[in-house]
Structure 1
């Protein structure tokens, strides 16, 4: 047996050597180019997103942290099947991959790929029919059902549209008293003529209403408070969307850690559907304290006291004090929020305030009160309207002082705004968008020293290209119109640009109009502004991430004074470290095109929170 053992050991050593050698000396092959030939109806970009093999982007050499796309032949061969499946899902039922090419370079470390496709003709819908066991109600007639579906006569037979139509049909019945709807679709395909007939077989089941409502988990908050947020009562027509909306409305009260609404006993198919509302109460009184440091405000701190369910009725009373070494010596707010004002989607907010601002261009002392109503149109969309009256004492800094704005004066401002947010996170979103539009009208109803109309709009987009890599975009524009007879706008309401949350190539407020002063330059602000930012955010290690960014913008003195040839920009990079209160960040920005009065080419910013 000895010779056999020696032979096996020798063979094992040889195979182990060959295996390790092939691993050590194996060469990664990068995908230099990926092309599709024969595709006319589907773009190459859509086809590439449908497969796993990816080509290296043109900017790969500039972004060192992006991994190269490595070629895997077996994965590529499977991708040929994925291409055909993608076409079939898009309605090209007879599309085929006819050929492919794998072309290596001389070194064997790069490959160019070509996939040849024959799209054939798409299959289109010739007719749509809705079949019921009994004569349907008017709301569910074939004519009305055809209006809600995507796959109508002449449309391409897409799998995604079929799934969407199924969900729309189920939702239509669920929200009109039929929670037990059964829906099936039967596609009848004519391959010769590339046509399909869709037969929807629908059984609505019995008509149902909301039944008894049971509440559990609320100890300090009364049932009546929760009931006002539900938006439905026993005996009303059952609607699934009312359950979802009710959960959102009750949760936004900030009285509960979680809220759960569910229909009970559905397996028994009762006509009166009982609803169970389960909640877990939050701590009703909280005191928070925080401190931090930033390159603009320097040391900053805040103290906030919040009393939930204040005097019953789900009211919230909040008192907050903020202080920073620079910019904001004092900010005090007392806010009373009354939910369910007029209906369960409105909040009445009353907020007296006292603020001392110490900016580079002015110092202001402001005292006033703001009263507004915030309406939640959808869980992601809010509409707000408010009126603000304040008494301001403003002193301008610098040698040149306009006497008409340096004074004690009153302001009366009516504000109307809209905000929609679809982001997936509060501090560091990876997908979704935030859109905001605000219009302010000063001095129209209560005559004060300044009369103006101020418009501003902002849009932010977040897109995750892959885990750990996010593209973020921000655009902001605003303008302020002085009414007839007005020569100035109040400095504390003007637009300013530059800073860690603005165009980072400049210090706070120093991008735009300035005036000379014995101590340097003083920003004046303006009545028109444009700002934009583009960021690429990439995780480096666990909680540490890096960014590269491009910021641009400017401020102009006159209203509607936008001049796109007069934009200034900055490029830069930064680091982020995620914490429970948001990312701590440091940014280095280099001016791409300086202003005449700029004294240096770069700025460094340190702060907490993403730039946008």
Structure 2
């Protein structure tokens, strides 16, 4: 991308009252004390206003958002899981949860009570065991869900877990890799090793990820029709599991016709140049992902979808020629930017506004032109390492122009 940027910054002080500048030196101390008292008064009033606002908000919440525990039911005040050592995150996997608190203090305000249900708790014990199995603990048992009644309407729940010994992943096996392509075989085995570490507790999510990674390693080598099936043999006696992946690579494929839909008034030639995909080139799923990101990087599309059209020949074999259908959704080409902010750091303190305009197809060719104007006030010499009252207010303006041209190389 080529860019051109121009910036202009102007700073000048406002005029001050000369009488203050020529005041006697002896008046500075009383003025400083008065300024300190005045600042303290302002701070106190701000704190009082904030407290009053919080009190008003809480009062409105009490009047409009109070909830009651249903008659004959109990609110869940706390849920504890005992024995959770090797696996974490169980609290997010169960449906029985403690009643939420408003501002971390009050239950039943704005938020409804979480009501105890013994059938839900029973299902939660099964959820805990299922979650442990997915993490390689096939002998884990949620053996009790104990309920402690604090009174007639409040309970505390305790779930006891026995994790057991985990099942460890052994070296996986890949069957059916292309015999005449040693690079593809190495890539597939490397993907398996990354996704499923050996002698670690079996993880079902990583097992599924390994299957996807093995397929990706093949589609990046041109095997667009690759199919990967998986199975895992679990030995509970020895606490070991051997994952097996069966591969049907299919033929090495090449790109067919490449069509682009949804461009509207945008120039197709520039988009094709950015995608850099050519009919007859070897299929590469990683290249398709890169092309999608390059198209989105133009800033003129809200979405870009590249779909390989896999098909079969007349005799039912996978067709080695894979057409590509690219569907784009143009974004807004022109946009305004209006805002503001405060900057407080070791260099300066400033209050500024921002107004800008950008065009993502400036005079055609997918050029991006933007202009940003940032006027502001600098409170001198106030900054992080110099907390003092400002003595000067400086005007500052910054203008930025930028033109970006898509590369043709």
Q: TM-score range by the shorter chain?
A: 0.5 to 0.7
1:512 CA displacement: 3.9
Structure 2 residue ranges without an equivalent (≥5) = 1-67, 343-348, 395-409
1:76 CA displacement: 0.8
Question: Normalization by structure 2: what TM-score?
Answer: 0.66
**Aligned twin of 1:513:** 386
In structure 2, the CA distance between the partners of 1:82 and 1:135, relative to structure 1 (3 Å rule), is same
* Among 287, 302, 305, the residue aligned to 1:242: 287
**Aligned twin of 1:314:** 366
1:40 CA displacement: 3.5
1:254 CA displacement: 2.9
1:74 CA displacement: 1.4
In 2, are the aligned partners of 1:128 and 1:152 still within 8 Å (CA)? Answer: no
C-alpha separation in 2, matches of 1:83 and 1:137 = 44
Q: Secondary structure at the match of 1:97?
A: strand
Q: Secondary structure at the match of 2:104?
A: helix
Q: Select the structure that is richer in strand.
A: 1
* Bigger RCO of structures 1 and 2 (CA < 8 A, at least 6 apart): 2
In 1, are the aligned partners of 2:188 and 2:218 still within 8 Å (CA)? Answer: no
C-alpha separation in 1, matches of 2:243 and 2:302 = 46
C-alpha separation in 2, matches of 1:223 and 1:280 = 13
**Aligned twin of 2:309:** 264
C-alpha separation in 2, matches of 1:309 and 1:113 = 61
Mapped pair 1:140 → 2:191:
no
1:266 CA displacement: 3.5
**Root mean square deviation of aligned Cα:** 3.6
Mapped pair 1:31 → 2:76:
yes
1:108 CA displacement: 1.6
1:50 CA displacement: 1.9
**Aligned twin of 2:160:** 116
In 2, are the aligned partners of 1:60 and 1:66 still within 8 Å (CA)? Answer: no
**Aligned twin of 1:198:** 243
In structure 2, the CA distance between the partners of 1:293 and 1:113, relative to structure 1 (3 Å rule), is closer
**Aligned twin of 1:53:** 96
In structure 2, the CA distance between the partners of 1:136 and 1:97, relative to structure 1 (3 Å rule), is farther
In 2, are the aligned partners of 1:514 and 1:523 still within 8 Å (CA)? Answer: no
1:84 CA displacement: 0.8
1:246 CA displacement: 1.8
In structure 2, the CA distance between the partners of 1:135 and 1:30, relative to structure 1 (3 Å rule), is same
Q: Secondary structure at the match of 2:137?
A: coil
In 1, are the aligned partners of 2:136 and 2:203 still within 8 Å (CA)? Answer: yes
Q: Select the structure that is richer in helix.
A: 2
**Aligned twin of 1:276:** 325
In structure 2, the CA distance between the partners of 1:122 and 1:259, relative to structure 1 (3 Å rule), is closer
Q: Structure 2 matches for 1:271-310, cutoff 5 A? A: 271-281=320-330, 286=334, 288=336, 302=355, 304=357, 306-310=358-362
In 1, are the aligned partners of 2:75 and 2:154 still within 8 Å (CA)? Answer: yes
In 2, are the aligned partners of 1:243 and 1:262 still within 8 Å (CA)? Answer: no
C-alpha separation in 2, matches of 1:288 and 1:246 = 28
C-alpha separation in 2, matches of 1:74 and 1:266 = 50
- Greater C-alpha Rg: 2
Q: Secondary structure at the match of 2:306?
A: strand
**Aligned twin of 1:179:** 224
**Aligned twin of 1:255:** 300
C-alpha separation in 1, matches of 2:275 and 2:201 = 41
Residues 525-545 of structure 1, C-alpha deviations (whole Å, 9 max, x = no match): xxxxxxxxxxxxxxxxxxxxx
In 1, are the aligned partners of 2:178 and 2:249 still within 8 Å (CA)? Answer: no
Mapped pair 1:71 → 2:116:
yes
In 2, are the aligned partners of 1:130 and 1:142 still within 8 Å (CA)? Answer: no
C-alpha separation in 2, matches of 1:208 and 1:321 = 52
C-alpha separation in 1, matches of 2:393 and 2:157 = 56
C-alpha separation in 2, matches of 1:143 and 1:217 = 36
In 1, are the aligned partners of 2:177 and 2:184 still within 8 Å (CA)? Answer: no
In 1, are the aligned partners of 2:191 and 2:210 still within 8 Å (CA)? Answer: no
In structure 2, the CA distance between the partners of 1:48 and 1:26, relative to structure 1 (3 Å rule), is same
In structure 2, the CA distance between the partners of 1:512 and 1:143, relative to structure 1 (3 Å rule), is closer
